[in-house]
């Protein structure tokens, strides 16, 4: 289903819009969770009132969920999608309202969350929420077998030559998602109507069409793996030939591999420069953070010393006032009361010293823990840079692909057979 979202204010206007029955055939307030109010306007007013204790102006996060018009989607599916979305964007447990609209035979849902956390009165950070919505939307189309709109095809999403460094670090041939590969091939075929359009759609996902040895059309990925397109996509060879023509004009697998090897080497070199630049920036930031932390800790200890000194003077004055003066004081000495007070004052003095020492030690222990945590960040960052550079260097030295052409079958389509023996996985 199509997911559209925005961070916004204007709870009153939003409530009016969501409840308009003149523009919708049916309006159903499905759920109010986490609010004291039991109506939509009251709930969004409540969200606004809570936001007044913060600096956040866009205190609401509003998402519409629109499945294909002809598909029958249950309320449970909507709820599951909403729950999954709020988990991915960090809104789990936040107050929310769900409203269903029906218009022109289409049923869709609106969900509005309050971004303000009640425990610390801070707004949930909605970093990269558009990318997360797009990813979830694509997954829903693939999982439910719905025809994916052309607008959802992301030309950057599956091209490994556009991968980020984090994605590169996680890329392992053995753990590639078979369902994702199948979906990439099927989407490329479904969203193209000519040979050139198909090649462009396939390359946008990081797969390059080549001439196979016996299977006609194959796809080569950035790791040099070769995939039988007809087997992975489920498209008959006759249909492939009808749209794509003769595979003889395509580059061979070896030519594709050499081209991709150069592209990957260029990408790894840019990663090395990026890693070094990021490390230097982060190092300077961590050193500045260290400077601020040390300055604050020194100020904090000076404050403690001043507080303890003032308290010590007040307690000394209190102990001195326990002794009576004049004839009363002389009488206290005669009956031994003065000596008793002196011993009590001495005990109080040493107790206060132990207390002050314990407070100081507690402060030192806490500050040491803070400093060690920062130092671990510094060491971890340095180690991570060294590991990344070492891994990049290893990748440069490794052979790009095996000499022989190894066509990978679709593991989701048929199991391995070994002359009647059960495969040992």
pLDDT of 215 reads: 58
Cα–Cα dist 220/260, whole Å = 9
Domains of the chain: 2-149 (3.30.930.30), 153-416 (no CATH)
pLDDT tens digits along 211-264? 877 657 888 877 777 777 777 777 777 787 788 877 777 877 878 887 877 777
pLDDT tens digits along 378-406? 788 777 777 777 776 666 555 444 444 44
The reported pTM is 0.41
pLDDT at 54 over 50: yes
pLDDT tens digits along 163-220? 555 545 544 443 456 667 777 777 888 877 788 888 888 888 778 888 877 657 888 8
CB-based contacts of 229-234 (< 8 A; 24+ apart in sequence): 229/185, 231/409, 231/410, 231/413, 232/181, 232/182, 232/185, 232/410, 232/413, 233/182, 233/185, 233/186, 233/189, 234/186, 234/413
Q: Which two tokens stand for residue 133?
A: 């919505």
Query: Helix-strand-coil percent breakdown of the chain, rounded to 5?
Result: 55, 15, 30
Q: For residue 41, what is the enclosing H or E element?
A: helix 40-51
pLDDT-derived band at 43, boundaries 50, 70, 90: very high
């Amino acid at each position: 289903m199509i997911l559209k979202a925005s961070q916004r204010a204007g709870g009153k206007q939003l409530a009016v819009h969501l409840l308009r029955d003149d523009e919708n055939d049916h309006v159903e307030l499905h759920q109010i969770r986490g609010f004291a109010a039991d109506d939509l306007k009251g709930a969004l007013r409540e969200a606004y009132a809570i936001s007044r204790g913060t600096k956040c102006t866009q205190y609401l996060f509003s998402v519409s969920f629109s499945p294909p018009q002809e598909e029958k989607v249950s309320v449970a599916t909507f709820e599951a999608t909403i729950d999954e979305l709020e988990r991915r964007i960090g809104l789990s447990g936040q107050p929310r309202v769900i409203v269903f609209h029906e218009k022109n035979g289409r049923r869709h849902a609106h969900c509005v969350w309050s971004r303000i956390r009640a425990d610390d009165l801070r707004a949930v950070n909605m970093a990269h929420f558009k990318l997360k919505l797009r990813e979830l939307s694509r997954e829903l189309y693939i999982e439910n077998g719905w025809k994916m709109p052309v607008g959802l095809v992301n030309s950057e999403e599956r091209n490994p030559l556009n991968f980020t460094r984090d994605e590169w670090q996680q890329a392992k041939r053995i753990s590639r998602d078979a369902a994702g590969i199948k979906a990439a091939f099927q989407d490329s075929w479904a969203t193209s109507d000519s040979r050139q359009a198909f090649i462009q759609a396939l390359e946008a996902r990081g797969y390059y069409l080549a001439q196979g040895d016996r299977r006609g059309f194959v796809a080569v990925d950035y790791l040099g793996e070769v995939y039988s397109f007809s087997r992975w996509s489920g498209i008959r060879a006759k249909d492939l030939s009808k749209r794509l023509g003769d595979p003889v004009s395509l580059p061979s697998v070896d030519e594709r591999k050499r081209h991709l090897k150069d592209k990957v080497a260029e990408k790894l070199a840019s990663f090395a420069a990026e890693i070094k630049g990021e490390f230097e920036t982060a190092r300077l930031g961590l050193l500045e953070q260290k400077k601020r932390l040390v300055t604050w800790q020194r100020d904090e200890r000076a404050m403690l010393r001043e507080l303890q000194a003032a308290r010590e003077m007040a307690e000394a004055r209190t102990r001195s006032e326990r002794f009576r003066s004049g004839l009363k004081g002389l009488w206290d000495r005669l009956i031994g009361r003065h000596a008793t007070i002196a011993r009590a004052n001495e005990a109080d003095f040493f107790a206060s010293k132990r207390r002050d020492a314990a407070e100081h030690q507690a402060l030192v222990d806490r500050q040491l823990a803070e400093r060690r945590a920062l130092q671990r960040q510094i060491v971890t960052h340095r180690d991570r840079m060294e590991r990344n550079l070492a891994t990049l260097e290893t990748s440069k030295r490794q052979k790009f692909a095996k000499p022989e052409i190894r066509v990978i079958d679709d593991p989701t389509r048929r199991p391995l057979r070994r002359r009647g023996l059960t495969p040992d996985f």
